[in-house]
Structures are given as structure tokens and as C-alpha cells.
Amino acid sequence: MSTQAQEVSTTNLTIRKFQDGDNKHMPWKDYIFQASWSHKCPTYVHRTPPCQGSCPSGEDIRGWLGIVRGMEKPPEGMDWQEYAFLRSTNANPFPSVMGRVCPAPCQTGCNRNKVEDFVGINAVEQFIGDTALEKDYKLVPPGEDTGKTVAIIGGGPAGLSAAYQLRRLGHACTIFDDHADLGGMMLYGIPGYRTPRDMLAGEIKRITDMGVDLRLNTRVGKDVSIEALEKEFDGILWAIGCKSGRPLPVPGADAPNCITGVDFLSEFNQSKVHYVPKRVVVVGGGDTSIDVASVARRLGHNYIAEDEVKDTGHDNVSEGSILGYVAHDVAELGVREGAEVTLTSLFPIENMTAAEHEVQDALREGVDIQGSVMPLEVLLDDRGRATGLKMAKCTLDKKGIPTAIPDTEYVIEADLIVSAIGQYGNLEAGLEELNNGRGFIEADPFYQVKGRPGHFVAGDIIRPHLLTTAIGQGAIAADTIDRYLQKAEQAKRPKVDVHHFNLLAKMHEAELAPEDFVVEDQGDLRGTSAANYAVHNYEDRAAFEVISPDGLFLGHFSYEARKLREDIPVSADEVLGHFGERMKGLNDEQAQTEAKRCMSCGMCFECDNCVMYCPQEAVKRTPKKEATTGRYVYTDYSRCIGCHICADVCPTGYISMGLGE
């Protein structure tokens, strides 16, 4: 199977507008020529598509897909690839990285799933990001300097996202990070074959090139106090992530060879670990546990080096590594064999929280995954080291709490046990006052730290979630910080809190902006449908509504298979030492073909159905010199009889019969 959730799914027949049995003529006269109904003429309503509503970073996905497909044209002098990049990075400055590792809730929400299969949003996003790096596209320039300064504690996805948005607003930013390099979990928590380091470094550099100051290898609370930050900066954003893993809640879990997944991946990504012991057991079921298991399979077991460590009497623990398996001469020995890696999960394999394609990759690479089992006890030898993990089959209640099934106990032999069951923040050494008692920082709906004016928070330290969630929170926190610095009241966040298409901004870009309305010249407001001082017959509900598939004419869309990224499968026999990428991105033509599968939910995509099917020729194309995205057609109300046909045949749900209600 393919590594992208197989980027192949079942093919359903296209849903039709009319079902079997609908074989009689509708009584059109009863619908059209009733005075109480005929006043309902079409209005053009912009709604949020579900991909966008499902995206935690709030990207205008429909917008940049529309640019890639060629529907929305770039400004003069700019190629469509750069225009798509700028639209994408309006919300998320990491398209190359996120196109690879995001589990893509946008694709789960995609309305095209009701036709045959979702649009490959991740694949097109990776194309946008990789193209931008190849062509050295820049982010939008910083805004005019406001004279305000913000300290950002943590250089991971949330902190970098906030720095980017704050620089756009003109605020000076300084990022404090206790590592030598920026990136946070993108760098230290995910292996390089999933987030290629050159791609990540390029996307981070674009942000720092906007004028972000850096203070690396600096731990706030230890090297600099909170009080010192409060004196130096006008605002402080806490984006420190969750770098402490949760140990197994079973007896014996404090053995020296029982570690957390966070620590394992951090050491691997800092090149402190070069191999693992023979038998590795990973407890989890999420993406972190999959990464640990997959890395362990790639590192393999070096039996000569391990024998040397044992012979020294150092109890298999070497200075500089929590594992004890450090580089020294091991890389030169090169005597490695595959490690036996077992991954256990409370959930059945098909219900694990890890992305499906990551689970399938791990299985293919030789990881033994055992579902519906729970750990009971870490078994120890006479030196206090773990030798195995006692397990039992289990059931889960509605709250996800496991119960062991009697008489199902068994033991998995282990030389290393890795717990990947959750994370919390490291709020020690001067940061204790921020701890809410559970290892996190408490935030209000605006991402302000409760009870601490001028302090804000974003990312995993609020609640561990996806990278894209941290990116979205960083952007919203930046908006909150901006209002705070301006001493403006915090405005209520919209129900659908994402980056929306802005028709007026598009019309300004196309030099089609409405004229100013001057009361002395215009008089009263009657007859405005022919005037040019407003955007007529248009309603923007995007901040309040996500359009469902019921609002579309799905019968318009025929079956079209997804254009898949080329898979580079790695078998169990090939995985040892294999740290190359597992997929190849789309090229220009492939990206455009895939983008054309987007149904443009909630926005006109210029199909001409309403023009062709209007019996009164009341719906017309907007003259080319006056047309732009969202303004492709208009209605001549002197001819419209309110028959609803244009709304019925609109594939995207952009037309509603509401004018006059």
C-alpha cells in the first residue's frame, strides 16, 4: 500500500442531483409564477469551505488551489507559483514542511469525499513550498515600525508563526530558545526523513530574514528572568512547547533503560544516538510513537559496540546520551543488524491516533504493531534494569480508560522501553509561577495568560496537538498582541476563525474597487444595483458558515482519480540506514491537475452553469474588463423571475435565492 494513507481510496459513484424515481416533470409554474415566491432573486454568498474550516492554521486552501488551477489570476508581473505561495503563507509560513508532515484534517473535511475522494491538499501544498524554496520566493515585507517590542520564548512552530505575523504588523521581535537552532518540534521532535533539514532551514530563514532578533542557547528562567523580560519588552509570548514526556504509569517504569519518546527523538535529532539495543518496545499509538519505532528500525542494533559497552561495566549507560548508545567509533564499525521493534497501543490498530499512512509505513518497514493491549508492569533484573514489559489485552470504556482482560497477560522481552503516551511542559527553573498545576500554561480565548497582563501563550504548552494547530495559535496570539500593544479592545473572534478570501481586497488588486459614495452627489440609495459605489448582490458569510456538501450540486462533478505523489516505499529489508524521503513531490502540471479537482465550495469557479441554464437570460457574465474572482457573473433583475434554476445548478453553492427576503 502507498505511504500516503494510500492516497488511494474507495471510488464511489458521483452523487446525482436527481435520484431514481424522480421521473415526473416538476410543476414549474407553481414554483415560478407565484407572486409570493418570485421576488426571491439570486444573491451571491461567500461561505467557508470545509477544508479551510478544518485547518487549525486557518489557511485559505480554496484560494491557493484556485490560483494553482489557473482560476484566480496573479497580479501583473508575478507568476502563479509565487502568487499561490503568498496566499498560502498568509496563514502558514511552512508550506514545504507542512505539506509533508501535517496529518491533513483539511482532507478529512473535504467535500469531494462525497464524490469519490478528497483533493490532495497536502501534495499541492508541498509543491508550493518546494517551488518557493527552489525559486527563492520571499515572504511579504515587514510592516512599518511601530516602536513596540515583543519577546517570544520558544523558536518552534508557534513562536516562529507569531514572529512572522508580528513582523508583518511592524512590531520588533526577539526569539529566545534554549537550543542552538530554531525549529522546536519540527527539528528536534520529527526525524529528518520526514522534515528534510534543508527545507526546514530555508523556511525558518525566510522568517528571520524579516528582521527577527535571536538569542539562542538561552533558557528563560535560568539565564534571564521573567522580570528582566518584562522590563525590556512591551509583550511576552510563551511558546515553549512540551518537551517533557510522560513515563509509563506502571511499576518499574523508573528503570534507567525506560525513557520517553520525546527524549529519544530529541537525542536522535541532535546526532547523539547512532544505534539502539536489540529489542525495543514503544508504548503509544500516536505519531510520536510511530516516529520512535521507525527511527529505531533505521538505526538498527550494533552488537559489537553494545558488547564493548557491556564489557566496560558502565551498565550500558554512556555519558552524553540518555540511551548510552553514543557515536564514538560505532559509525566506523558499521556492524549493524535490524533491531526488533514492537509498538503497542491501547487502541485497535485501525483506530490508532497516528496517521494511517504512517502506520502502514511502519508495518511495511518491519515494526510489530500490537493493538488493544495495555502495559501492566516493567520487569526488572537484579540490577534494576528493564528486561521486559508485562502486557495484557484490554478493552476501552467510552472515556478511553483501559481495563485488562483477565488471563490474557504476556511478556514482551525488551532491552529498551520507550514511553510515547503524552507530553507536558518543562516549567521548572524559574518558570514555576506559570504552571497551572498540570504542566501547562493557562490561556484565555484570546491566548492571553490568565492573570498576567502583557503575557501571551501559544502552542503545545496550552495543550499538545498538531504542528498546524501551534502555527494557527501563533497567528491568533500575534493578532491579540497587536491589539494589546495598540491598547485596543480585544474583538470577539469570529465563529469560523480562519484567513478568508477578501473580495474588496481582490477588487482593489485588480483595480476594480467601488467608487466612494458621496451623499451630496448620490442622494438617496434607491436604484443601487446599477451604481458603482458598492459591491452589489454579494453577501459574505464566511466568518459564520462552513458550507456542507448538501449545499452543492454534486451531480456536476464526474469521477476523477487523485493525482498521487510518487511513493518511495521502504521494505523491512531495506529500512536499516535508510534516511531518505519516502515520497516525491508533484511537478507543475501534476499540481495543476490535482488542484482542478477542488470543487471551490462556497466560491464561484466560473463553470457557466447559471448562465447556460437561466431560462430568462437574466444571469450574465460580467464584462471581462470588470470581472475578477467572486465577480464572474451578475443578475439582470429586470429579467429574473425567481425560478431557482441558477441556484439549483450551481456546483459550488455560491448562489442562494434570498434577495428580497
Q: Residue 244 corresponds to which cell in the numbers above?
A: 517533557
The rounded distance, in Å, linking the Cα atoms of 256 and 94 is 37
Q: Beta strand pairing status for 172-176 and 244-245?
A: unpaired
Per mean pLDDT, which range of 105-119, 200-214, 297-311 is the poorest? 297-311
pLDDT at 314 over 50: no
Residues 83 and 105 in one domain: yes
From 181, 316, 334, 183, select the one nearest 259 (Cα to Cα).
Answer: 316
Establish if 490 belongs to a structural domain: no
Residue 178's domain comprises: 149-243+425-485
Q: Which residues of 224-240 are buried (b: 16+ CB within 10 A; e: fewer)?
A: bebeebeeebbbbbbbb
**Phi then psi dihedrals of residue 29, to 5 deg:** -60, -35
Q: Residue 337 corresponds to which cell in the numbers above?
A: 543488524
Q: How high does pLDDT run on average in the chain?
A: 88
Among residues 373, 390, 424, the one where a domain terminates is 424
Residues 127 and 26 in one domain: yes
Establish if 475 belongs to a structural domain: yes
What's the pLDDT band for 216 if we cut at 50, 70, 90? very high
Residues 414 and 432 in one domain: no
The whole-number pLDDT of residue 3 equals 41
Establish if 396 belongs to a structural domain: yes
What's the pLDDT band for 515 if we cut at 50, 70, 90? confident
pLDDT at 328 over 50: no
List Cα–Cα distances, 614 to 41, 42, 314, 513, 528, in angstroms: 12, 11, 84, 28, 23
From 548, 522, 545, select the one nearest 533 (Cα to Cα).
Answer: 522
The rounded distance, in Å, linking the Cα atoms of 210 and 163 is 9
Establish if 459 belongs to a structural domain: yes
What's the pLDDT band for 329 if we cut at 50, 70, 90? very low
Establish if 142 belongs to a structural domain: no
Residues 9 and 98 in one domain: yes
The whole-number pLDDT of residue 474 equals 97
pLDDT at 331 over 90: no
Residues 6+ apart with CB under 8 A from 508: none
What's the pLDDT band for 659 if we cut at 50, 70, 90? low
Residues 410 and 435 in one domain: no
**Residue 353: which CATH number?**
3.50.50.60
pLDDT at 7 over 50: no
User: How confident is the model over 47-92, as pLDDT tens digits?
Assistant: 999 999 999 999 999 999 999 999 999 998 999 999 999 999 999 9
3-state secondary structure of 325: coil
Percent of the chain at pLDDT > 90 equals: 73
Comparison of pLDDT for 349 and 528, the residue scoring more: 349
pLDDT at 313 over 60: no
User: How confident is the model over 465-479, as pLDDT tens digits?
Assistant: 999 999 999 999 999
Residues 363 and 387 in one domain: yes
Whether residue 276 contacts residue 301, with contact meaning beta carbons closer than 8 Å, is answered with yes
Residues 125 and 158 in one domain: no
Among residues 378, 393, 424, the one where a domain terminates is 424
pLDDT at 307 over 80: no
Which residue's C-alpha cell is 430568462?
616
Comparison of pLDDT for 467 and 321, the residue scoring more: 467
**Phi then psi dihedrals of residue 18, to 5 deg:** -115, 140
What's the pLDDT band for 316 if we cut at 50, 70, 90? very low
pLDDT at 163 over 90: yes
**What's the average model confidence in pLDDT over 336-358?**
92
Residues 347 and 321 in one domain: yes
The whole-number pLDDT of residue 434 equals 94
Comparison of pLDDT for 436 and 5, the residue scoring more: 436
Whether residue 404 contacts residue 376, with contact meaning beta carbons closer than 8 Å, is answered with yes
The whole-number pLDDT of residue 274 equals 83
**What's the average model confidence in pLDDT over 182-190?**
95
The rounded distance, in Å, linking the Cα atoms of 481 and 633 is 40
pLDDT at 362 over 90: yes
The whole-number pLDDT of residue 315 equals 43
The whole-number pLDDT of residue 2 equals 41
The whole-number pLDDT of residue 639 equals 87
Residues 381 and 433 in one domain: no
Establish if 223 belongs to a structural domain: yes
Strand partners, 284: 345
What's the pLDDT band for 272 if we cut at 50, 70, 90? confident
Residues 308 and 323 in one domain: yes
What's the pLDDT band for 582 if we cut at 50, 70, 90? confident
The whole-number pLDDT of residue 16 equals 53
List Cα–Cα distances, 599 to 316, 346, 558, 604, in angstroms: 58, 38, 11, 9
- With helix as H, strand as E and coil as C, how does 261-321 read? HHHHHHHHHCCCCCCECCEEEEEECCHHHHHHHHHHHHHCECHHHHHHHHHCCCCCCCCCC
Establish if 492 belongs to a structural domain: no
The whole-number pLDDT of residue 255 equals 96
pLDDT at 428 over 50: yes
Residues 269 and 417 in one domain: yes
The whole-number pLDDT of residue 22 equals 65
Burial class (CB in 10 A: 0-12, 13-18, 19+), 661: exposed
The whole-number pLDDT of residue 9 equals 42
pLDDT at 325 over 50: no
Whether residue 647 contacts residue 654, with contact meaning beta carbons closer than 8 Å, is answered with no
pLDDT at 332 over 70: no
pLDDT at 576 over 50: yes
Among residues 395, 424, 453, the one where a domain terminates is 424
User: How confident is the model over 221-235, as pLDDT tens digits?
Assistant: 999 999 999 999 999
The whole-number pLDDT of residue 524 equals 65
User: How confident is the model over 91-104, as pLDDT tens digits?
Assistant: 999 999 999 999 99
pLDDT at 34 over 90: no
3-state secondary structure of 114: helix
Count of structural domains within the chain? 3
pLDDT at 421 over 90: yes
What's the pLDDT band for 5 if we cut at 50, 70, 90? very low
The whole-number pLDDT of residue 30 equals 56
Residues 360 and 308 in one domain: yes
List Cα–Cα distances, 327 to 417, 516, 607, in angstroms: 20, 70, 61
- Number of Cβ within 10 Å of residue 95's Cβ equals 28
The whole-number pLDDT of residue 265 equals 95
Establish if 144 belongs to a structural domain: no
User: How confident is the model over 380-402, as pLDDT tens digits?
Assistant: 999 999 999 999 999 999 888 99
**Phi then psi dihedrals of residue 375, to 5 deg:** -75, 145
Per mean pLDDT, which range of 274-278, 326-330, 352-356, 649-653 is the poorest? 326-330
The rounded distance, in Å, linking the Cα atoms of 436 and 432 is 9
Amino acid at 580: G
Residues 6+ apart with CB under 8 A from 138: 206, 209
The rounded distance, in Å, linking the Cα atoms of 82 and 280 is 45
